[in-house]
C-alpha cells in the first residue's frame, strides 16, 4: 500500500507539467476501471471473448504510463494510446462486448475525449476526426447488421455495464476537473502572494525614493541659504569697493558661487524629475528677452575662454511666445555652457529658428554648434543618462556631474519636444532641440542687434533705479545675514527698513507701526511666512491698510509661485534676491507719490 501511494505521489509530482499529470490521472484511473470491468466480467462469466481485448487494453495503458514516465514522453504516450486503443481495441471491444446497448458508447466517448486532453496540435485533430468516422461507422453498421455485434447476454448485464460506464466516465473527468481547479487555485494563491510582496516592495521603494527626494530638497535648501548670503554680500562688496583687485577677487567669488548654485539647482531638479514633481508652467514671454539673456550670459563666458559666440536667428520669430520660459532658458544655457566647456578654441554658434505648425503653434528650434572636442561613438550612447559623463579620459580636466544633459532631455520630453545630437570626435558637436510653443503675437521679433544696441544690453554698473525716503518697509527672515543683504541692497534707495528675525516678531512690529510694504520669507522655523501672513491678515491694521505683502521663496518651490498669489500674497521674489528684481517690485507696489524714479 505504501509503495502504491509512493508510486501515485511520484506520478503526480509538482515538477511535472500539468498536461503530463493529466495524462497520468487518466491512465491510472482508466487502468483501475478496466481492471474492475475485467474482474467483473470474469466473475459473472459473461462475454469471455472480450477478456483478451480488455487484457490488451490494460497492457496498452500500462505501456503508455511507462512511455510517459520512464522515458518522459507524455505526448508520444498519448498519441500511441489514442491510435492503438481508439482505432483497434475499442472498436473490437464494441463488436464483441455489447454494442450500443451496453456501456460501450460511453467508453467510446471517453476515448475520444482522451485525445483532446492529451494530444496537441494537428495530431489531435487528425486522430479525433478518425475516431468520429470510425465510431459512427460502427454504429451505422450495427444498425444495418445487428447480427454482426455481440449483445450482452441479458438486459440486466447491459444495464450494469451501462452504470459502470457512467461511473468510470464521471470518475475520470471529475478527478481531472478537481485536479485542474486545485492547480488553478494554488496558482492563483501564489500569484496573490507574489502581488502582495510586489506591492510591499513597491511601497518601500517609493518610500525610499520619497525620502531621498525630501533629503535632497532639504539639503539643497540648506546649502542654498549660505550661498545666497555669499552672493548677496559679494554683490555689496563689488558695489562699494573702488579697488580694482578687490573687485577682481569678488568677481571670482561671484563666478564660483554661481557655479555652486547651479550645481545645487541641478541636483534639486534631478530629484524633482525623479519623483515626478517637475511641472511645466507655461506663461507668456518675450522671445527677444529670452535670446538676449542666454546670449549675454554665455557670451561673457565664451570670451573669458577666448572663444567667439555667434548668434544666428530668424527675424520672423514670433515676438511673444507662450511656454515655460524658465525651463527653456535652462535648456539653452545647459547646451551653451556645455559647448563653451568642451571647446578649447574656435567658435560656438547659437542658432534660434522656428517652424510653423498650426495657426498659433510653432516648433522652436534651438541649435548649438561648437568646434570643440566632440563626442566618441561610445560616449554618444550614454550622454543623456543621469550622472554619466562621456570620454572621461579626454575630459578629465573639465568639471561636471553628468546631470546637465539628462535634465535637459527630460525637460524637453516633458514639453513634448525632442533633442538630437551629431558629433565628430575631435572636431565638434551639434545639439538640436525642437520645442513646441504657442505663438501669442504673430508680430515678428525683427532685428536682434537693433534692439540690443538700443540700450537693452547688460554690463552696466549698478545704479539705483529709484529713491523713496518716505517709504517704510518691513522684512522678515530668520537668517540674519539675509536681512543684512536685503538692507544693503536697498541702501542707495533711502527706503526705511525694519527687520524681524521671526514671524512672531514681524507680527509684533506690524501691529505697532505703519508699513508701506512687507517682505516675508517663506521657510522659517516656528511660524513660517504663510502662517505669519495669515496672522497679519487677521489684524485690524491689515483690514484697513491692505499692506502689500511679498513672499520671498527659494528655488526649491519654484512652480508653486502661482499658489502664493492664490493664497493672497501680492507678489513673490525668488532667492537669491536680485537687486534689479527687488527694486522693480518695490517701484510697482509702493504708492506713486513716494517713489522718485532715477534718471539713468
Ligand atoms: P557634464 O556635467 O559632465 O557636462 P552633461 O550631462 O551636461 O554633464 O553632459 C554629459 C556628457 O556629454 C559630458 O560629460 C560630455 O562628455 C558630453 N558633452 C556634452 N556636451 C558636449 C559638447 N558640446 N561637446 C563635447 N562633449 C559634450
Predicted local distance difference test score (pLDDT) of residue 148: 87
* Residues 358, 389 contacting (CB under 8 angstroms): no
State the distance from the centre of ligand 1 to the C-alpha of 400, rounded, in angstroms: 8
pLDDT at 578 over 90: no
pLDDT at 431 over 80: yes
Q: Which of the pair, 275 or 300, is modelled with greater confidence?
A: 300
* Residues 169, 109 contacting (CB under 8 angstroms): yes
State the distance from the centre of ligand 1 to the C-alpha of 25, rounded, in angstroms: 66
Confidence of residue 598 (pLDDT cuts 50, 70, 90): low
Atom 21 of ligand 1 has which residue's CA nearest to it?
A: 338
* Residues 494, 469 contacting (CB under 8 angstroms): yes
| For residues 61-81, average pLDDT | 90
Predicted local distance difference test score (pLDDT) of residue 88: 92
Instruction: Report d(CA 76, CA 68) in Å as an integer.
Output: 7
State the distance from the centre of ligand 1 to the C-alpha of 341, rounded, in angstroms: 8
Instruction: Report d(CA 42, CA 94) in Å as an integer.
Output: 18
Predicted local distance difference test score (pLDDT) of residue 596: 87
Q: What percent of the chain has pLDDT over 90?
A: 44
- Ligand 1 test: best mutation among 346, 402, 410, most atoms within 8 Å of CB? 402
Predicted local distance difference test score (pLDDT) of residue 75: 85
pLDDT at 533 over 60: yes
- Ligand 1 test: best mutation among 366, 383, 391, 421, most atoms within 8 Å of CB? 383
Predicted local distance difference test score (pLDDT) of residue 304: 87
* Residues 282, 322 contacting (CB under 8 angstroms): yes
- Tens digits of per-residue pLDDT, 38-55? 887 787 766 567 788 888
Instruction: Report d(CA 116, CA 173) in Å as an integer.
Output: 12
Predicted local distance difference test score (pLDDT) of residue 600: 47
In this predicted structure, which of 191-195, 272-276, 329-333, 596-600 has the lowest mean pLDDT?
A: 596-600
Atom 8 of ligand 1 has which residue's CA nearest to it?
A: 402
| Burial tier of 295 (Cβ tally within 10 Å: 0-12, 13-18, 19+) | buried
- 474 alpha-carbon distance from chain centroid: 45
The residue behind cell 441479458 is: 154
Atom 14 of ligand 1 has which residue's CA nearest to it?
A: 389
DSSP letter, residue 537: H
Q: Which of the pair, 318 or 392, is modelled with greater confidence?
A: 318
- Tens digits of per-residue pLDDT, 338-362? 999 999 999 999 999 999 998 889 9
Atom 23 of ligand 1 has which residue's CA nearest to it?
A: 339
- Ligand 1 test: best mutation among 392, 394, 400, 433, most atoms within 8 Å of CB? 400
Three-point CA angle 102, 105, 108, nearest 5°: 130
Confidence of residue 313 (pLDDT cuts 50, 70, 90): very high
pLDDT at 554 over 80: no
Atom 11 of ligand 1 has which residue's CA nearest to it?
A: 389
| For residues 286-303, average pLDDT | 90
pLDDT at 459 over 50: no
Q: Which of the pair, 273 or 197, is modelled with greater confidence?
A: 197
Predicted local distance difference test score (pLDDT) of residue 47: 57
Instruction: Report d(CA 410, CA 415) in Å as an integer.
Output: 9
* Residues 323, 282 contacting (CB under 8 angstroms): yes
Instruction: Report d(CA 268, CA 257) in Å as an integer.
Output: 16
Phi, psi angle pair for 12, to nearest 5°: -110, 20
pTM of the model: 0.57
Q: Counting atoms of ligand 1 from 1, which one is nearest the CA of 368?
A: 23
Predicted local distance difference test score (pLDDT) of residue 135: 93
| For residues 332-337, average pLDDT | 94
* Sign of the alpha-carbon dihedral angle for 137, 139, 140, 145: positive
Confidence of residue 437 (pLDDT cuts 50, 70, 90): very high
State the distance from the centre of ligand 1 to the C-alpha of 171, rounded, in angstroms: 73
Q: What average pLDDT is seen over the chain?
A: 87
State the distance from the centre of ligand 1 to the C-alpha of 389, rounded, in angstroms: 6
pLDDT at 458 over 50: no
**Strands (DSSP E) found in 427-533:** 428-444, 466-467, 472-476, 496-500, 517-521
Q: What percent of the chain has pLDDT over 70?
A: 96
User: Using a CB cutoff of 8 Å and minimum separation of 24, what contacts does 15-20 make?
Assistant: 17/74, 18/180, 18/183, 19/74, 19/118, 19/120, 20/68, 20/74
Any residues with Cβ below 6 Å from ligand 1, and which? 338-339, 342, 370, 372-375, 379, 383, 389-391, 395, 400-406, 429
State the distance from the centre of ligand 1 to the C-alpha of 131, rounded, in angstroms: 72
- Tens digits of per-residue pLDDT, 123-161? 899 999 999 999 999 999 999 999 888 888 888 888 888
| For residues 313-323, average pLDDT | 95
Give the CA distances from residue 250 to residues 189, 458, 485, in Å, rounded to whole numbers and listed in that order: 69, 19, 16
- Ligand 1 test: best mutation among 266, 339, 390, most atoms within 8 Å of CB? 390
Q: Which of the pair, 6 or 366, is modelled with greater confidence?
A: 366
pLDDT at 523 over 70: yes
Q: What grid cell was written down for 568? A: 493672497
Phi, psi angle pair for 351, to nearest 5°: -115, 125
Amino acid at each position: 500500500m505504501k509503495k502504491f501511494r509512493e508510486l501515485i505521489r511520484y506520478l503526480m509530482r509538482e515538477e511535472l507539467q500539468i498536461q503530463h499529470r493529466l495524462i497520468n490521472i487518466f491512465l491510472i484511473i482508466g487502468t483501475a476501471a478496466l481492471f474492475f470491468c475485467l474482474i467483473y466480467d470474469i466473475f459473472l462469466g459473461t462475454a469471455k471473448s472480450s477478456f483478451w481485448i480488455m487484457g490488451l487494453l490494460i497492457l496498452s495503458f500500462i505501456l503508455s504510463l511507462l512511455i510517459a514516465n520512464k522515458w518522459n514522453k507524455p505526448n508520444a504516450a498519448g498519441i500511441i494510446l489514442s491510435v492503438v486503443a481508439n482505432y483497434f481495441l475499442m472498436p473490437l471491444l464494441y463488436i464483441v462486448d455489447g454494442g450500443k446497448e451496453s456501456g460501450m458508447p460511453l467508453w467510446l466517448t471517453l476515448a475520444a475525449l482522451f485525445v483532446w486532453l492529451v494530444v496537441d496540435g494537428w495530431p489531435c485533430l487528425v486522430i479525433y476526426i478518425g475516431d468520429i468516422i470510425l465510431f459512427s461507422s460502427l454504429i451505422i453498421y450495427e444498425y444495418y447488421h445487428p447480427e454482426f455485434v455481440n449483445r450482452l447476454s441479458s438486459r440486466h448485464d447491459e444495464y450494469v455495464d451501462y452504470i459502470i460506464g457512467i461511473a468510470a466516465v464521471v470518475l475520470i473527468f471529475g478527478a481531472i476537473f478537481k485536479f485542474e481547479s486545485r492547480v488553478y487555485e494554488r496558482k492563483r494563491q501564489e500569484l496573490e502572494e507574489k502581488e502582495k510582496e510586489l506591492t510591499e516592495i513597491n511601497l518601500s521603494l517609493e518610500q525610499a525614493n520619497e525620502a531621498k527626494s525630501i533629503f535632497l530638497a532639504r539639503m539643497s535648501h540648506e546649502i542654498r541659504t549660505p550661498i545666497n548670503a555669499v552672493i548677496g554680500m559679494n554683490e555689496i562688496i563689488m558695489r562699494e569697493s573702488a579697488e580694482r583687485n578687490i573687485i577682481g577677487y569678488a568677481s571670482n567669488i561671484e563666478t564660483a558661487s554661481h557655479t555652486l548654485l547651479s550645481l545645487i539647482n541641478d541636483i534639486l531638479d534631478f530629484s524633482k524629475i525623479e519623483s515626478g514633481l517637475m511641472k511645466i508652467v507655461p506663461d507668456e514671454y518675450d522671445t527677444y528677452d529670452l535670446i538676449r539673456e542666454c546670449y549675454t550670459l554665455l557670451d561673457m563666458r565664451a570670451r573669458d575662454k577666448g572663444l567667439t559666440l555667434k548668434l544666428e536667428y530668424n527675424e520672423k520669430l514670433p515676438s511673444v511666445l507662450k511656454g515655460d520660459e524658465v525651463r527653456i532658458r535652462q535648456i539653452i544655457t545647459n547646451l551653451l555652457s556645455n559647448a563653451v566647456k568642451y571647446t578649447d578654441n574656435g567658435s560656438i554658434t547659437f542658432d534660434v529658428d522656428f517652424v510653423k505648425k498650426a495657426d498659433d503653434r510653432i516648433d522652436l528650434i534651438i541649435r548649438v554648434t561648437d568646434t570643440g572636442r566632440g563626442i566618441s561613438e561610445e560616449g554618444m550612447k550614454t550622454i543623456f543618462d543621469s550622472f554619466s559623463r562621456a570620454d572621461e579620459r579626454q575630459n578629465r580636466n573639465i568639471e561636471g556631474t553628468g546631470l546637465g544633459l539628462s535634465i535637459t532631455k527630460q525637460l524637453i520630453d516633458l514639453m513634448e519636444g525632442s533633442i538630437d545630437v551629431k558629433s565628430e570626435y575631435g572636431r565638434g558637436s551639434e545639439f538640436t532641440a525642437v520645442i513646441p510653443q504657442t505663438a501669442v503675437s504673430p508680430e515678428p521679433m525683427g532685428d536682434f542687434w537693433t534692439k540690443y544696441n538700443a540700450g537693452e544690453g547688460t554690463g552696466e554698473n549698478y545704479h539705483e533705479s529709484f529713491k523713496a525716503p518716505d517709504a517704510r518697509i518691513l522684512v522678515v527672515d530668520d537668517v540674519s545675514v539675509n536681512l543684512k543683504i536685503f538692507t544693503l541692497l536697498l541702501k542707495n534707495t533711502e527706503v526705511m527698513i525694519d527687520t524681524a528675525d521671526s514671524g512672531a516678531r514681524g507680527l509684533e512690529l506690524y501691529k505697532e507701526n505703519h508699513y508701506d510694504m512687507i517682505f516675508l520669507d517663506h521657510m522659517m522655523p516656528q511660524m513660517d511666512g504663510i502662517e505669519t501672513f495669515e496672522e497679519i491678515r487677521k489684524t485690524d491694521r491689515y483690514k484697513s491698510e491692505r499692506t502689500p505683502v511679498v513672499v520671498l521663496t527659494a528655488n526649491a518651490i519654484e512652480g508653486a509661485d502661482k499658489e502664493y498669489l492664490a493664497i493672497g500674497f501680492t507678489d513673490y521674489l525668488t532667492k537669491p534676491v536680485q537687486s534689479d528684481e527687488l527694486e522693480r517690485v518695490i517701484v510697482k507696489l509702493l504708492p506713486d507719490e513716494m517713489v522718485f524714479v532715477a534718471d539713468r
